[in-house]
Amino acid sequence: MARASGLTAWLRPTVVIRRRAIYKGILGNSRFWRTVAIVMVGTQTFRRLFGRNPEVVEVVRLKGGGHLMQIATYDKPSRRERRRGAA
């Protein structure tokens, strides 16, 4: 999915809140906006560290001149999919 660019990207609510939190909280003196900035940066860092990562299932080395490559990714099932599968 393509990211929005230009004016529409700057008017998204998360971008506006993040910008206000940085200016008023980190660069300013507001404790409320500082905690908002810490929470927003913390959630981004948490998602980046513990988010879904692709997992290598199998690597096969071909002998000879065969040049065939097939790449398939298998996502981990979401919580909803796990619940549906259990029932």
pLDDT at 50: 83
Left, alpha or beta for 71 (phi > 0: left; psi -120 to 50: alpha)?
A: beta
The owner of tokens 């660019």 is 5
Q: State pLDDT tens for residues 57-77.
A: 777 777 776 667 777 777 777
- Cα separations (Å) of 39 from 15, 66, 85? 14, 51, 34
Q: State pLDDT tens for residues 20-62.
A: 999 999 999 999 999 999 999 888 888 888 877 666 777 777 7
Domain spans of the chain, in order of start = 7-86
Angle, in degrees to the nearest 10, between helices 13-21 and 31-50: 120
Distance between CA 73 and CA 57 in Å, rounded?
Answer: 8
